[in-house]
Homo-oligomer: A and B are copies of this chain.
Amino acid sequence: MNEVTRLLKTHRSIRKFTEQPVSDEMIHEIITCGQAAATSSNIQAVSVIRIRNPATRKQLAALSGDQGYVTRAGAFLVFCADLARPRFACEMQGGDFAQGMTEQFLIATVDVALAAQNCVVAAESLGLGICYIGGIRNHPQAVADLLRLPEDVYPVFGLCLGFPAQNPQTKPRLPLSVVFQEEYYPAHQDQQAIEAYDQQMRNYYQTRTGGNKNSSWSQEICSLIGKESRPHMRGFLARRGFSMR
């Protein structure tokens, strides 16, 4: 273990922030760290938009499921998968962009996530707390309109950053033996390990909510994937140019 791995292992989402502003210098340093992440064939299919306007922040918070910290965080960024810039570069060369490939959707989405995670690590190393906002995909068309995103660009997630005004514990994860394998994917899921984790998460929820939340990991996951999640995403992406062919 070193200072970096200690930092990585103590990550937890922060949803309460102090009034202390996040300087431009800090944000630029964070984005520069994001850009340094690996990118597929150097395509750099990432654009980051910082929203300062309080009215826009309020709209984004409402569109993301009334997450007030979207308004109150020291800084709010939207990470976009951006094939419009590569397309422009291609057309500068007289080429025709092969739009709508599933592989390109995948590449752009992975590029965004790698860059964002570097930003997060940088931010946390600078004393900031963060919270990813997947909720911007609740109403992605409205978000795209607000940010004037062109064709071939889609908002993947938001990111709240700010100086923490809370100090929550880290959330337990599945045991290493469940997520990490040698040579092959296991022939059977390890039900015993999952049940032990369920109990651990039940205790975690009980402690964190003062006894109000009585649920396990499996129960939470079931309510998440036991129903259609954001069924508008397919059509939204297709209209953006990500038609998944």
* Contact (Cβ within 8 A) A80 B185: yes
Copies in the complex: 2
Kindly name the residue among A1, A2, A118, A221 whose own CB sees the greatest number of chain B CB atoms within 10 A: A221
8 Å CB contact of A174 from B35, B132, B179 = B35
Q: Which residue of B lies closest to A235 (CB)?
A: B102
Min CB–CB distance A43 → chain B (angstroms): 6
Contacts of A179 in B (CB 8 A): 31, 35, 44, 46-48
Q: Does A38 contact B (CB under 8 A)?
A: yes
Closest chain B CB from A46 CB (angstroms): 6
A165 within 8 A of B: no
Once A36-B9, A122-B8 are accepted as A-B contacts, the answer to whether A110 and B109 lie under 8 Å apart by CB is: yes
Which chain B residues border A117 with CB–CB below 8 Å? 37-38, 113-114, 117-118, 121
In the assembled complex, A209 has its CB within 8 A of some CB on chain B: no
Which residue of chain B has the shortest Cβ distance to A228 in the bound complex?
A: B98
**A218 and B93 in contact (CB under 8 A), knowing A8-B118, A40-B134, A137-B103?**
yes
A98–B219 alpha-carbon span in the complex (Å): 15
A226-B96 contact given A102-B234, A194-B89, CB 8 Å threshold: yes
